[in-house]
Amino acid sequence: MNSHLKEHLKELEKSHTSLEVRKSREKLNKILADDFFEIGSSGYMFDKKECLESGVMLTEMTLHNYEIYPLASDVVLSTYFINDKTRKRNTLRSSIWKLIDGRWQLFFHQGTITDLQVNDVEKGY
């Protein structure tokens, strides 16, 4: 997989963590695959319907150390670190992106709270 795909998925990842997309049911609906599910940092599982109906946490986040790992020609695992400035905590994140109907959609997402700090990740934990 090329660096263009990595940058494209990174932008999609950034957008789904942005306040603009999180406030917009329409934009979030476009990013999340129909069979999307996530394991939140709370330890609870959510599906697309719950995310769209209940909304997602509106927090200011910055993304660091983004990597992708191809699983198939149309499936990619991404991993990254989030500094959540609103909740004053950090999480390690993973997502599975699928190429569905000609566009990359978020199929699975998981977040785990960590004590790691931004400078730890930049050094390559």
Q: pLDDT per residue over 12-25, tens digit each?
A: 998 888 878 778 88
Confidence of residue 112 (pLDDT cuts 50, 70, 90): very high
Which ranges of the chain would DSSP assign to H, the alpha helix?
3-17, 19-23, 25-31, 48-54, 118-122
Q: Could you tell me which of 76, 86, 73 has the C-alpha nearest to residue 19? A: 86
What pLDDT score does 123 carry?
81
- The mean pLDDT value for 28-43 works out to 94
Q: What is the pTM of this model?
A: 0.89
Q: Could you tell me which of 29, 17, 100 has the C-alpha nearest to residue 61? A: 17
Confidence of residue 58 (pLDDT cuts 50, 70, 90): low
- The mean pLDDT value for 69-95 works out to 95
Which domains occur in the chain, in start order? 3-122 (3.10.450.50)
Express as a percent the part of the chain with pLDDT over 90: 68
Q: CA 98 to CA 107: how far, in whole Å?
A: 6
Provide the token pair at 17.
């963590």
For the ranges 47-61, 91-105, 107-121, the lowest mean pLDDT is seen at 47-61
